[in-house]
């Protein structure tokens, strides 16, 4: 294979840009999560009494006419919502763009992998990319970053907060202007996970990771590569056998995350390599 990341390699450059996007999305999430308006958390009793009628979770979707009528029939709620919109719409726009960017990231990664499998990139297959030094790193990182996005999102922006933000933004913008809103809501729906809780939901985070699935064939090949190959050549820096765990620690972290996308292997099988 010619230089995978060379200027003439569309496959390599596309994947590199995708991984760069993934890192940028995570950086934006870390920034925004530090500025969640406390109102959306409804942790304070006064906030719950004041805003609970205009800050709705996904229960709104089951009967929007009922909730809208409840607000429209109460002048105080109409005025409160107008004030709330003026104070919070700007930050809501940023949060929605964050949620949408996560969805677009995984769909673009999915399309990239499909294009490779269908031969869009001449003379390239997933197997060939995973045999290339840069290729196996980037494919692994692209999938790993998606897992990191999901875990960070669920820990930094809790499920009920995400739902209130999405409903609030959708009600202000209108679903017609948001072509990805249904898919974004499906991805960001509360998982039931609460950071710091003694127990986590059953089959978590495997079911969360399966909301927008990745090709199981590709995942199996990536897992095989991570378990059989030193993809970052860490052994060159830590050649002593006693330091092997340090040498492979980076890809071990990636493997741990990626296995949540393949619960069958995670729970029932050994990895073949």
Whole-number pLDDT of residue 249: 74
Alpha-carbon dihedral sign for residues 252, 113, 175, 92: positive
Mean pLDDT, residues 210-233: 89
Asked if the structure places residue 223 within a domain, the reply is no
Distance CA 174, CA 54 (A): 16
Asked if the structure places residue 59 within a domain, the reply is yes
Asked if the structure places residue 235 within a domain, the reply is no
pTM for the structure as a whole: 0.92
Whole-number pLDDT of residue 8: 83
Distance CA 136, CA 258 (A): 14
DSSP-based three-state secondary structure for 63: coil
Average pLDDT taken over every residue of the chain: 91
Asked if the structure places residue 26 within a domain, the reply is yes
Containing structural domain, residue 68: 10-204
Mean pLDDT, residues 244-251: 68
Does the pLDDT value for residue 270 go beyond 80?
no
Mean pLDDT, residues 148-177: 94
Whole-number pLDDT of residue 273: 43
CB 225, CB 197: distance < 8 Å: no
Lowest mean pLDDT among 7-11, 22-26, 30-34, 165-169: 7-11
Asked if the structure places residue 143 within a domain, the reply is yes
Whole-number pLDDT of residue 14: 97
Confidence at 243, pLDDT banded by 50, 70, 90:
very low
């Amino acid at each position: 294979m010619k230089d995978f990341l060379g200027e003439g390699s569309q496959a390599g450059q596309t994947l590199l840009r995708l991984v760069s996007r993934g890192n940028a999305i995570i950086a934006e999430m870390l920034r925004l999560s530090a500025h969640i308006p406390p109102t959306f958390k409804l942790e304070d009793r006064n906030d719950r009494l004041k805003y609970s009628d205009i800050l709705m979770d996904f229960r709104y979707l089951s009967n929007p006419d009922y909730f809208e009528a409840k607000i429209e029939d109460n002048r105080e709620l109409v005025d409160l919502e107008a004030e709330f919109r003026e104070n919070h719409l700007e930050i809501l726009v940023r949060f929605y763009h964050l949620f949408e960017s996560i969805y677009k990231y995984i769909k673009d990664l999915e399309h990239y992998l499909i294009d490779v499998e269908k031969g869009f990139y001449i003379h390239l297959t997933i197997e060939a990319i995973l045999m290339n030094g840069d290729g196996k790193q980037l494919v692994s990182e692209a999938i790993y970053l998606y897992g990191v996005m999901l875990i960070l999102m669920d820990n930094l922006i809790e499920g009920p907060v995400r739902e209130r933000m999405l409903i609030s933004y959708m009600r202000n913008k209108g679903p017609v202007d948001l072509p990805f809103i249904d898919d974004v809501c499906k991805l960001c729906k509360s998982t039931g996970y609460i950071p710091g809780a003694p127990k986590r939901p059953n089959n978590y985070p495997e079911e969360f990771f399966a909301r927008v699935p990745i090709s199981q064939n590709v995942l199996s090949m990536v897992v095989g590569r991570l378990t059989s190959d030193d993809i970052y050549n860490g052994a060159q820096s830590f050649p002593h056998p006693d330091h092997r765990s340090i040498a492979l620690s980076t890809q071990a972290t990636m493997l741990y995350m990626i296995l949540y996308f393949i619960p069958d292997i995670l729970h029932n099988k050994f990895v073949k390599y």
